[in-house]
């Protein structure tokens, strides 16, 4: 008889053990009493938890074996820092730790380069976040993290945003059995809106109402990006005259826009 199995890092995932909550507590108590054999049992008994977490990262082109190993590091950190005094299930505490470890790995392997100072701020924020999760058994707010770091909230948000892994514009975000909706379908193009198109027509119509000299000055100023002094040198008048003509032309155009 054939047995369906998937091997990751040489581990047959079909044969991974599952530890009940009562046994889990006994093993944590054994660790506190110095039993060195309890930790490996906890790790092996929670590898399925790592498998369930890495499934959400398998579409990023990373090797599953690498993600599994990194997830195991997060699991071991969770085991070493778990507090039995907190009335929370181990899986509730461990999953964010595993996810955080995988996200750090993905950020370190991100092809987009981020400055060291931003990266340092972001990593400090993540460390504080893990500490607060361990302390309060809940996800802290950005304001709480910023307060611990004694930094403005905006700097923390900017640093965390800077190290987020990129996502493809063709990443599907919804599928109901028909055509999928991709990320790019949810992004607006401010440069290609009907309102901007209509405004462009109105500006062109208003420009036609100006004299050739006024039209030339506004073209040099606002389409070619030249200063009033540069315009004055080009058409042979003073900068003050350019300023007066420009203001008069703009005032005249507003009547038609």
DSSP structure string for 229-254:
HHHHHHHTS-HHHHHHHHHHHHHHHH
Could you report the per-residue pLDDT of 118-152, keeping only the tens digit for each? 778 888 898 899 889 888 888 889 899 999 999 99
Fold for domain 110-178? Arc Repressor Mutant, subunit A (1.10.10)
| pLDDT in 10s for each residue of the chain, 257 residues | 333 445 565 666 667 777 887 788 888 888 888 888 888 888 888 888 898 888 888 766 677 888 888 999 999 999 888 888 877 888 888 898 899 888 888 777 766 666 778 778 888 898 899 889 888 888 889 899 999 999 998 888 888 887 776 666 666 766 666 666 666 665 655 555 555 655 667 777 777 888 888 888 888 888 888 888 888 888 888 888 888 888 888 888 887 76
CATH of 190-254, one of 3.40.630.10, 1.10.800.10, 1.10.10.10, 1.10.260.40: 1.10.10.10
H helix runs in the chain, sequence order: 21-32, 38-45, 47-54, 64-81, 90-108, 116-136, 142-149, 153-162, 194-208, 212-218, 228-235, 239-254
Tell me how long the chain is: 257
Fold: same for 110-178 and 190-254: yes
Fold for domain 1-109? 1.20.120
DSSP structure string for 187-226:
---GGG-HHHHHHHHHHHHHHHTS-HHHHHHHIIIIIS--
Domain boundaries along the sequence of the chain: 1-109, 110-178, 190-254
> Which residues, including other chains, have CB under 8 Å from residue 66's CB and lie 6 or more apart?
105
* pTM of structure: 0.45
């Amino acid at each position: 008889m054939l047995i369906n199995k998937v091997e990751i890092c040489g581990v047959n995932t079909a044969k991974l053990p599952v530890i009940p909550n009562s046994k889990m507590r006994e093993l944590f108590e054994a660790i506190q009493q110095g039993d060195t054999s309890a930790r490996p049992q906890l790790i092996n008994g929670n590898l399925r938890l790592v498998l369930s977490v890495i499934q959400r990262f398998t579409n990023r082109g990373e090797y599953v074996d690498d993600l599994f190993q990194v997830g195991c590091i997060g699991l071991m950190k969770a085991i070493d820092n778990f507090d039995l005094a907190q009335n929370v299930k181990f899986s509730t505490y461990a999953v964010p730790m595993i996810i955080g470890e995988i996200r750090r790995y993905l950020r370190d392997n991100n092809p987009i380069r981020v400055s060291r100072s931003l990266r340092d701020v972001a990593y400090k924020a993540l460390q504080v976040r893990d500490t607060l999760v361990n302390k309060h058994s809940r996800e802290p707010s950005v304001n709480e993290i910023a307060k611990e770091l004694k930094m403005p909230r905006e700097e923390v948000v900017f640093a965390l945003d800077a190290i987020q892994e990129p996502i493809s514009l063709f990443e599907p975000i919804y599928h109901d059995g028909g055509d999928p909706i991709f990320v790019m379908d949810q992004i607006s193009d401010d440069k290609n809106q009907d309102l901007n198109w209509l405004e462009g027509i109105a500006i062109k119509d208003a420009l036609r109402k100006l004299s050739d000299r006024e039209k030339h000055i506004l073209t040099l100023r606002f389409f070619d990006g030249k200063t009033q002094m540069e315009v004055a040198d080009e058409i042979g008048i003073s900068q003050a005259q350019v300023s007066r003509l420009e203001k008069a032309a703009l005032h005249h155009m507003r009547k038609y826009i």
